[in-house]
Structure 1
């Protein structure tokens, strides 16, 4: 009997819950799929929405993932210098078939040294900072670079999840999941990205500035730590 395809998603304090729960819902659907949520221990973890989610496994008991997923949220930036979490991510990534992230979860992959020289995306409000961690930032909703699949901000996680399912299973399975959850987006406004005509330019400018001020210092520190780990080529 073939063992299940194991999806393992990192759950951490102040995670953006939709980054986590949207893809996890899709991942749980195909026959032969199992989803675990992992944190340092199994106590409830408070999300950025104010409610808590309970991990199913901890770092010590987590199975090896076939697909490792790192969601985003402001809480991810608290982990860029957390050696316990970074070491766990590196160990899991070494044995995973696919290494993935949604939104700003890409920054944790970057701090772990997994984005150096690789194409990746993240939320528009922090996109430019990916380059500090050695990534090649790409402004697309979902980006595939070999075994690395990254998704843009929050709701891009649904497109990301269908992309992952098509790779892990097949396109027919991904289509069945899309149909089953009636994922047929038709938003009432055209303001979902800075490039869209109804996006507020003032909001875009203000958000870019505040995110840069809030996040860039820790990203630069993570980049400096990473530079000490990465051996020069040649």
Structure 2
């Protein structure tokens, strides 16, 4: 299984590095059954995050034909000038308008490719018109406006909607990655990585499965 971790200008580094390190630990625990790389929509390059001085190097281009899993982070507000939410939304909108929007659409249309998001990464999909009718979540600060994307908004830490998995909150990227490890490589691997990082997952991943509780 090959994963691409998307970078765009102004990305939140924890959204990207958390799932990257977690998933690749699972790959190491299985002798390389899972591999990964940082990628941009344009070409390999240095990408500046939204946290001062932090950059990561993308070594590949986002390509649904070679990636089984594509993970998109949210954005960080930069130097803090102006409104934080407004600054984040501007960066997410710029990412959605860029070549990335088209590449993510290709990924969602390709059978066998799973796309996942951390925090505001789901907003990139929503702004690109890719969440209509889908179950999804985002950072709680943006949940009230998230329905405008056409998504069925779920207030949960991780939402598993089949080939679309979304997580809310910056630190949720680790929980997202552990859920993916359990789903793709099994609970033994996921638990081993959970122990390695001394991290206890928060909440139960939401899935549209089983009887509906009577008080829903």
Please tell me the TM-score bracket, short chain as reference.
Answer: 0.7 to 0.9
User: d(CA) in 2 for partners of 1:184 and 1:121?
Assistant: 21
Identify unmatched segments of 5+ residues in structure 1.
Answer: 187-234
The aligned residue for residue 13 of structure 2 is: 17
Aligned length: 180
Q: Given the two structures, how large is their TM-score scaled by the length of structure 1? A: 0.72
Q: Secondary structure at the match of 1:115?
A: coil
Task: State the structure with bigger RCO (CA 8 A, min sep 6), 1 or 2.
Answer: 2
Q: Secondary structure at the match of 1:15?
A: coil
Q: Deviations over 1:86-140 (max 9, x none)?
A: 1111122333432210100001122333311111111011112221111011111
The aligned residue for residue 205 of structure 2 is: none
The aligned residue for residue 119 of structure 2 is: 103
The aligned residue for residue 43 of structure 1 is: 45
How far the C-alpha of 1:185 sits from its partner, in A, is 7.8
Between structure 1 and structure 2, the one with the greater Rg is 1
Is 1:180 aligned to 2:196, yes or no? yes
Identify unmatched segments of 5+ residues in structure 2.
Answer: 76-87, 203-216
The aligned residue for residue 66 of structure 1 is: 68
The structure 1 segments of at least 4 consecutive aligned residues displaced by more than 4 Å after TM superposition are: none
Q: For 1:151, which of 156, 162, 167 is the aligned residue?
A: 167
How far the C-alpha of 1:62 sits from its partner, in A, is 7.3
Q: Deviations over 1:133-161 (max 9, x none)?
A: 11011111011112211000100111111
Label 1:141 to 1:87 Cα distance change in 2 as closer, same or farther (>3 A). same
